[in-house]
Amino acid sequence: MNLNQEEQWIKEIRQYCRSLNISTSDLYKIVTDLKVAPMIRGKAFEFSMYSKLKQILPSEDWTVVKPIINAQTGNHDIDIMVMHNKTKKIISVECKLAGKGMFSVAKTSKTGFYKKGDYLIKVKCMRSRTTKTPEKVNAMAQKFGVSPQMFLAHSDQYRVGSFDVVATSVGNAFYQTLEDNDGNLMYTFEPSEKGLEFIKKFQPSATNEEFLQEFVYNKVYLACSLDITVSHNSGVICSKQACSDKHNCGFIPNYPIINFGNIEELPNNIAPSPINSWVDINNGLDFFESILDRI
């Protein structure tokens, strides 16, 4: 950022604060608040994902758009829209961070999901707008093509048709809420010993924590919604107690799992790679081309 850009940025921040009656001296405290920081990180990921897709998808074949939409209950907004220029097919991309602190090594096996010793990251993938009023429940049930009872059992979940692709940064899986020496809670990058072992499998020679933090934030994976939805084809099983069709309800779990397998079995020069349906964004072009045949 050069001097003119910096001055323009400061001017825009001041104008923004003035328009919302925010004291500029309070801005840092506001954006670092524990309730606010995750929302900012989530929105920031949408824009970084937009930039990544613009880079990996050739502009002569693909058009990538970041729609500005104010979604209302029942109308799901699109984070990123990708259009294949030749076929005019549109692929909707939902941007979701990994769940905070949701990196783990499986202590037991779960049939159809993972084995003991597998390295796992859970992606937080749930609707923020839920409804319980009878009128809205009936409307949403009709929209989703399910009974009101089935909708209520999954009111915080996306349906298979809510979007075509989910994109996630795994960095948030290594963040924790910790207390500093003054008793203040901090939202901070704090991988466990196993987590650091996992990250260093990608960058064995790296020792700088700031570099590792940025690296893992930019470690992005993609999945087709069809592959993470509860269905006979995907093999994903619903964990909702009230669900009446746990093998084929058509809803996406609140926390889809990226399974990297047991990385301790990998040679030192081989980086971890998902063993289930998730794809590294470095293979994003092939991934999006394959999606065209599925939508």
51 backbone dihedrals φ, ψ, rounded to 5°: -65, -40
Contacts of 292 by beta carbon, 8 Å cutoff, 6+ apart: 84, 87, 89, 91
224 and 291 in contact (C-beta within 8 Å)?
Answer: yes
CA distance 242 to 4: 58
Q: Where are the alpha helices (DSSP H) in 119-192?
A: 134-144, 148-153
Q: Strand 90-105 to strand 119-123: parallel, antiparallel, or no bridges (unpaired)? A: antiparallel
Strands 62-65 and 185-189: unpaired
Q: What is d(CA 293, CA 291) in angstroms, rounded to the nearest whole number?
A: 5
Write out the chain's pLDDT in tens, 295 residues.
Answer: 677 888 899 999 999 999 999 999 999 889 888 888 888 988 999 999 999 999 999 999 999 999 876 555 445 578 999 999 999 999 999 999 999 999 999 999 987 789 999 999 999 999 876 667 788 888 888 888 888 899 888 989 999 889 999 999 999 999 988 766 666 666 788 899 999 999 988 888 777 888 888 899 999 999 999 999 999 999 899 999 999 999 999 999 999 999 999 998 888 778 899 999 999 999 999 999 999 988 8
CA–CA separation, 96 and 250 (whole Å): 19
The C-alpha atoms of residue 295 and residue 291 are separated, in whole angstroms, by 7
| Dihedral sign of CA atoms 283, 288, 289, 290 in order | positive
Contact 80, 46 (CB under 8 A): yes
Q: Residues 51, 52, 56, 57: what is their CA dihedral angle, to the nearest 10 degrees? A: -50
DSSP 121: E
The helix (H) or strand (E) run that includes residue 100 is strand 90-105
Q: What is the C-alpha to C-alpha distance for residues 186 and 74, in angstroms, rounded to an integer?
A: 34
